[in-house]
Chain A
Amino acid sequence: MRKITLSLWASGMLALTACDNNSTSPSGEVADSAPIQYTEQRAACADNNPNRNAYFGDLHVHTGYSMDAVAEGVRTTPWDSYAYAKGEEIDLPPYDEAGNTSSRTKIDRPLDFMAVTDHAEFMGANSICTDPNAPGYNVDTCVSFRRGSIMATMAFTNNVTTRTPTRPVDICGEDGSACLEAQAPVWAKIQQAAEDHYDRSEDCSFTTFVGYEYTGLPGGSNYHRNVIFRNADVPAAPISYVEAPFDYQLWDGLQKKCFDGVEGCDVLSIPHNSNLSNGKLLGTFYPEGRDQAAIATQRQIVEPLVEIFQHKANSECIREFPGLIGAPDEFCDFEQPRRIGDVRSIPAQTLPNGIDVPATTYPPAADCGDETGQAGMANAGCISRNDLVRGALLTGLQEEQRLGVNPLKFGFIGSTDTHLAIGGGTDEKSWPGHLGYETSLQGRLSGGFMPSNLLGNPGGLAGVWASENSRDALFDAMQRREAFGTSGPRIAPRFFGGWNYAADTCGQADMVEQGYADGVPMGSDLPPANGAEAPTFIVAASRDQTPLQRLQIIKGWISEHGESHYKVFHVAGDETGQANVDLETGALTGAGADNLCATFTDPEFDATQSAYYYLRVIENPTLRWSWAQCVALPEADRPAACENAAPKVIQEMAWTSPIWYKPEM
């Protein structure tokens, strides 16, 4: 099917390319463009800019093709989801008896790009359990599944809580073949929806990526990655946790089935929710008898990015963490429900859909040390320094000293992880929740035994600096980590590192040209020092709908005794935090900036120490969704759950990919 579609494209698009005449200005100045090596048939983009544009997207979106979305009443498809991201209104569950929904939702501003990432492990089983003509439709697991809710989801996920996962045997057969067979048409539809919504014209108005989520829950810990393909050349089937229960097996599988298996195939694996992984997700595991440096290299190639922020909380940092030396960082508390020593108690509760969840109390959250723990998906168990991106980046530096290659060389993106098919729907005031049963305000604000509901948030966005909005340009940018994450707003941060930037570069109209010419952008390694004493960074950001408060550089380094350090440097804006927000009206008070810019030379630079630097942009205070949505209602109409313990005020953020320094040998 895809091959036919592409050949049709070939003829249509070549014609279009031929008549693309570029933009010539009246004064005769022709804007340079940065030609892209296309791996697919498409028209050259009209928006090409050699200084690169900021594009905003979402690379983590579930639709009715995910079993945990279906179980909560979601019926929207990948097609609906892409339409939503482009600005069309789509359905929210629940539906009434006539199949109509009482609520529909529309994104506040269209996205530039998106990938649907439904769970690979259960694509086939989900399809069988919802198709009465399928032979397995009536088996026990399907019957349980169709009863709906979290317990129905668990009927499936139970099969992937060990390192010897299976597919549900009664549905899929002992060898899983029935489900693999049923998965093929679902995978084809996911590809077709991406094809249908991709703008291959010179307008480059919207880009889609074919993708899926790899979903393991070993010991109840999060072990999840989104697998995103460069173009329409993808393997015949997703490689899921069932086939590859260890990360290195996934990378081996992608090597075999994508790089070596399909002409033109290229792929990224983007881990998410390290915060719920008890040390498993971003830890390093090397199987017996394998070359560790080779695995580290493989990981650096396939995993250049990590999702730092999404619905199920923030993975940047925890305020005070044992073994990470640095002053307390209060901004680590933003959307961070985990803390060392916390006792996690889940009271017996009835979920909004009528299902009873038993009471459970976990021991106080301790440092995992060099071990890993369990029950992270319930926001419980031990916390590893590798659960925090800030800590994992330090482990990466240590591994680099040991192996010569850094396996944890992550740039950052944010995304949503919506299970309502609404990628990029990050507006605090209108967010309709993470799962189907959260579409009522009372539902969102109460209960929950994952970091969803009151502990959840509207999620973030993936930002990419690319020369144009085509698959190849965006994918190239993600591979070189010229990417950033935001907690929802469209903040545009620039971050350059070099040795010779002039102190007055900042704010000059051609700062970006100088940034590229004399140094490197976010996501890169600093070039050789050539005798300079300390690196200088250009940091800048422009606001979205809320003024900016401050810019900070976070530095991480390994001292000579092998200890892990971090330090937060204030570099621009208001360090004292004078601005505020009115709790009743949401009105902002106090000063804020439209743009912030500074150059920063590291005053503590030590040329013998490996280090990374990243930029954190912080907005002025605004109302958190859980209060903003309550205060918007007349007092008499507010649900009881509006009285709750969640913070009423937040400060949204953006995080750029780091720039690394490695001592010369």
Chain B
Amino acid sequence: MDKFNRLASHPAILFLIAGAVLFILYAWLNPTHDPKTVHVSAGRIAALEKSFASVNQRVPTPEERQAFIHRYIEEEVLYREALALNLHLSDEIVRRRLVGTMEFLNESAAAYEDPSEEDLRTFWQSNRTDFIRPARLSLTHVYFNADNGAEEAKAAAEAALPQLIDGAEPRTLGDLFLRGRVLRGKNQSQLADIFGTTLAQELMAMDVGPWLGPVTSVFGFHLVRIDKRVEMNERSFEDVREDLLAAWRQQRIKTLRIERLNNLVESYNVVVDDEARLE
């Protein structure tokens, strides 16, 4: 694959591909027309009119109509002259646009496929670590708002701790915390969204069972009891089948893009003067 990547990025090869694409496009765009006849069809004029109307929100005046038809003719003539001069074979912007379009076509054609059971299992074996479930916590916390002074809030929290340890009902103590008092099944990233990254990290390390704290967040102080901790664990094949399918498809789109390009390149007789690059 590395060898291919080096090949694929070689300007000469890209040039060849671009040339081929252009040749085909040129043939499509100019089926049997006399190169010296510019035919402005009624359909073309209607399209130009629509385009004008959608920008200006009104129909063109006869003069404006004449002007954009004339502009279209000029554009068409210049376009053909450019082709006659082979500008499309040397102009960098044209080349990039064509190559880019072709790459996209290869990709989008590959977007939907199903793997065999065996393929999926093989994929599972080589990507198992991607399907680990992060550790999750369920917790209850009592919050002490620090907006009216950190010292007071901390003292209130310290005073409430023995009451909680003695079995006081959490909802009767502390202040309102809008993102919830009882949080269940949250992973570290979800806890960080609620409490900030620092406290989320501390929570993940706390023991299950006892009331602990006070700990601090951007909001103030919290007394926390970790009610349940589910350790990081690996999920079974059946458990992650749908996720695997999604990941497989994503990878498949990328692989097919490269494979198709590879096949195309192989159908060419490629001569590269710099031998060292082919090693």
Q: Taking beta carbons and an 8 Å cutoff, which residues of A are in contact with B?
A: 5, 8-9, 12, 16, 23-27, 29, 31, 45-49, 51, 53-54, 64, 73, 75, 77, 79-80, 83, 87, 94-99, 109-110, 130-132, 138, 140-141, 143-144, 146, 148, 151, 154-155, 157-158, 161, 170, 185, 188-189, 192-193, 195-197, 200-205, 217, 219-220, 357-358, 360, 374-375, 378, 380-381, 490, 492-494, 506-513, 540-543, 593-595, 597
Contacts and interface: CB of A to CB of B under 8 A. Distances in A.
Interface stretch (B81-89, B121-129, B176-184, B269-277): B176-184
Interface in B98-126: 99-101, 103-105, 107-109, 111-112
Contacts of A73: 100
Nearest to B235: A201
A68 to B, nearest CB: 13
Given A12-B239, A508-B176, A141 B47 contact: yes
Interface in B167-194: 167, 170-187, 189-190, 192-193
Given A203-B136, A220-B54, A513-B171, A24 B189 contact: no
Contact of A205 (B57, B179, B181, B187): B187
Interface in B235-254: 238-239, 241-243, 245-246, 249-250, 253
A29 B183 CA distance: 14
Given A12-B239, A49-B183, A189-B111, A130 B176 contact: no
A71 to B, nearest CB: 12
Contacts of B138: 23, 31, 46
Contacts of A511: 176
A75 B241 CA distance: 26
A53 B191 CA distance: 12
B103 A360 contact: no
Nearest to A159: B50
B55 interface: yes
B133 interface: yes
A154 B54 contact: yes
Nearest to A193: B246
Interface string B142-182: 11011100000000000000000001001111111111111
A508 B169 CA distance: 14
Given A140-B44, A219-B57, A95 B103 contact: yes
Interface of B: 8-9, 14, 18, 28-29, 43-44, 47, 50-51, 53-57, 95-97, 99-101, 103-105, 107-109, 111-112, 133, 136, 138, 140, 142-143, 145-147, 167, 170-187, 189-190, 192-193, 208-210, 218-220, 225, 227-228, 238-239, 241-243, 245-246, 249-250, 253, 257
Contacts of A29: 140
Contacts of B167: 27
A541 B246 CA distance: 38
B264 to A, nearest CB: 13
Given A46-B138, A158-B47, 11 more contacts: A23-B184, A31-B140, A79-B246, A94-B100, A99-B100, A155-B51, A380-B57, A492-B178, A509-B175, A543-B218, A594-B219
B55 A360 contact: yes
B225 A25 contact: yes
A171 B239 CA distance: 44
B51 A154 contact: yes
Contacts of B9: 98
A49 B242 contact: no
Contact of B28 (A31, A138, A204, A378): A138
Contact of A48 (B29, B178, B179, B184): B184
Nearest to B172: A509
A133 B110 CA distance: 13
Contacts of A360: 55-56
B200 to A, nearest CB: 12
Contacts of A27: 167
A490 B195 CA distance: 12
B136 A46 contact: yes
B246 A99 contact: no
A602 B105 CA distance: 61
B239 A540 contact: no
Pairs of residues from A and B, 5 with the lowest C-beta to C-beta distance, nearest first:
A46-B185, A196-B246, A99-B103, A23-B138, A158-B50
Given A79-B250, A509-B175, A201 B239 contact: yes
A314 B97 CA distance: 35
Contacts of A507: 145, 175-176
B31 to A, nearest CB: 9
Nearest to B167: A27
Contacts of B172: 509-510
A75 B101 CA distance: 10
Contacts of A189: 111-112
B97 A148 contact: yes
A281 B243 CA distance: 39
Nearest to A133: B109
Contacts of B174: 509
Nearest to A49: B180
Nearest to A161: B54
A393 to B, nearest CB: 25
A595 B55 contact: no
B185 A23 contact: yes
B176 A12 contact: no
Contacts of B190: 205
